[in-house]
Amino acid sequence: MTDFDRTDARLLLALCERPRATGVELANILGMSRNTVQARLTRWEEKDTLTPIDHRVRPRSLGYALQAFVTTRVDQHKLSEVTDHLRTIPEVLEVFGLSGASDMHIRIAAVDADDLYRVAGLILKIPGVERTNMSIAMSELIPYRTTPLLDRAAGARSK
Handedness of CA 159, 45, 84, 132 (dihedral sign): positive
How far, CA to CA in Å, does 90 sit from each of 2, 99, 107, 156?
A: 35, 25, 11, 40
Averaged pLDDT for residues 143-156: 88
Q: Kindly report, residue by residue over 38-50, the tens digit of the pLDDT.
A: 999 999 888 888 8
Higher pLDDT, 4 or 39: 39
DSSP 49-69: -SPPGGGGS-GGGGT--EEEE
